[in-house]
């Protein structure tokens, strides 16, 4: 709200923290926003970063050794499995939810 995509990209590209640059290098510019969220999750010492972006999830699975994040990056189906829960139709639930209600 109130920030254009160009302004967001300019902000992400202005970050010079070595850890952020390392994550960004291995995830690519197409995932610069996800790299930012992972970096902030690491700084907040979170256990997991839940994403709906299967492309980012795939990159993280493929390059997890190079990135070396202590934060688990998971999609809802994966997290349910790790917690021993039945998988939820999270996309169906999201489609039914009105964020403005």
Read off the tokens for 54.
């299967």
Only one residue has tokens 């169906």, namely: 92
Query: In the prediction, which pLDDT does 93 show?
Result: 67
- Which pLDDT belongs to residue 77? 83
Which tokens go with 50?
Answer: 């839940």
In whole numbers, what is the pLDDT of the chain averaged over residues? Answer: 88
Q: What is the distance between the alpha carbons of residues 12 and 10, in angstroms, rounded to a whole number? A: 6
Q: How far apart are CA 88 and CA 79, in angstroms?
A: 10
pLDDT tens, position by position, 48-88:
999 989 999 999 999 999 999 999 999 988 888 888 877 66
Tell whether the model's pLDDT for residue 38 goes beyond 60: yes
- Long-range Cβ pairs for the range 93-98 (8 Å, 24+): 94/52
Query: Domain locations in the chain?
Result: 5-96
Which residues lie across from 72 on neighbouring strands?
A: 48
Which band of pLDDT confidence, cut at 50, 70 and 90, is reported for residue 101?
A: low
pLDDT confidence tier of residue 94, bands split at 50, 70 and 90: low
pLDDT band at 25 (very low <50, low <70, confident <90, very high): very high
């Amino acid at each position: 709200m109130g920030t254009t995509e160009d302004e967001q990209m300019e902000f992400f590209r202005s970050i010079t923290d070595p850890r952020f640059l390392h994550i960004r290098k291995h995830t690519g510019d197409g995932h610069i926003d996800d790299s930012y969220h992972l970096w902030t999750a690491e700084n907040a010492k979170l256990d997991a970063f839940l994403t709906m972006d299967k492309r980012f999830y795939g990159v993280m699975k493929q390059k997890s050794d190079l990135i070396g994040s202590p934060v688990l990056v998971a999609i809802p189906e994966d997290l349910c499995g790790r917690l021993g829960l039945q998988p939820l139709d999270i996309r169906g639930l999201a489609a039914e939810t009105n964020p403005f209600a």
